[in-house]
């Protein structure tokens, strides 16, 4: 058995059916909401694009390459946990090499953990706030329920906390289970190191407030277009 998706397909999140929505209302995803409403790192990204362009590089091509190698790392982690073989035939050697380095970082992190994986790539929806998302991992450790988000970016940014908070709230609403811990694991695709950040309860609470505002702005923006 192999996993062979090059990138995540655009997921459509639907709420349960109602008389008004017999097929279930389609709602936006967490990343769509944050990408369109939260620009905290836009200046950093613009500065990076400018530097690369002045150096004669194509920032768009570099970003696509980084995204694809990140997908390789995610697919290898997913296949490892599921005990299947990842089909990487659609990726270039450079993308696979970088992704494998990130995967090795995950294996090093995993050795330090006594963790039980419950769900991988797990979709959730919030009926109350009308959004959906796909959680990288739901896991147990020492009786605590974890939400774990994998990143292969150059750093851990504040909007990532908003993403994890939104996933956590939707999971609790959908599954009627309490999440005890929230974790972001950054896998370095260059040197094979990892950075593990555990979010505190107050961090998640503040990040959730930010996300709720972004969710409201998402609808308001559509009304004034």
Q: What is the average per-residue pLDDT within 82-89? A: 92
Query: pLDDT for 44-72, tens place per residue?
Result: 555 545 664 666 665 455 444 455 788 99
pLDDT of 4 reads 41
| Cβ-Cβ contacts under 8 Å for 211 (sequence gap 6 or more) | 30, 33, 34, 162, 163, 165, 166
Where is 92: in which H helix or E strand? Answer: none
pLDDT of 1 reads 38
Sheet holding 116-126, edge to edge: 116-126, 131-141, 144-151, 181-187, 194-199
Is residue 129's pLDDT more than 60? Answer: yes
Where is 154: in which H helix or E strand? Answer: none
pLDDT of 67 reads 59
Higher pLDDT: 210 or 69? It is 210
The answer to whether residues 106 and 185 touch, using CB atoms and an 8 Å cutoff, is yes
Residue 115 sits at the vertex; the CA angle it makes with 113 and 118, to the nearest 5 degrees, is 155
> Which tokens sit at 14?
């639907």
Kindly report the CATH class assigned to 2-224: alpha beta
Rounded Cα distance between 148 and 138, Å, is 6
> Which tokens sit at 157?
């940014």
> Which tokens sit at 219?
């609808």
Compute CA distances 39 → 34, 35, 44, 125, 210, whole Å. 8, 7, 10, 24, 12
Domain layout of the chain by residue ranges:
2-224
DSSP 12: P
Rounded Cα distance between 183 and 180, Å, is 10
């Amino acid at each position: 058995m192999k996993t062979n998706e090059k990138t995540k397909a655009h997921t459509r999140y639907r709420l349960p059916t109602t008389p008004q929505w017999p097929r279930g209302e389609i709602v936006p995803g967490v990343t769509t909401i944050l990408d369109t409403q939260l620009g905290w790192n836009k200046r950093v990204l613009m500065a990076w694009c400018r530097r690369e362009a002045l150096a004669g590089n194509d920032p768009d091509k570099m970003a696509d390459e980084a995204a694809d190698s990140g997908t390789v790392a995610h697919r290898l982690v997913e296949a490892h946990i599921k005990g299947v073989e990842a089909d990487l035939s659609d990726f270039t050697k450079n993308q696979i090499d970088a992704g494998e380095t990130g995967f090795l970082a995950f294996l090093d992190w995993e050795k330090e953990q006594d963790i039980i994986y419950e769900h991988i790539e797990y979709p959730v929806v919030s009926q109350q706030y009308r959004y959906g998302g796909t959680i990288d991992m739901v896991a147990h450790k020492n009786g605590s329920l974890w939400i774990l988000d994998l990143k292969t970016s150059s750093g851990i940014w504040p909007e990532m906390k908003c993403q994890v908070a939104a996933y956590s709230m939707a999971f609790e609403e959908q599954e009627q289970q309490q999440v005890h811990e929230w974790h972001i694991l950054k896998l370095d695709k260059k040197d094979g190191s990892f950075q593990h950040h555990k979010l505190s309860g107050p961090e998640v609470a503040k990040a959730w407030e930010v996300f709720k505002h972004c969710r409201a702005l998402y609808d308001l923006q559509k009304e004034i277009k």
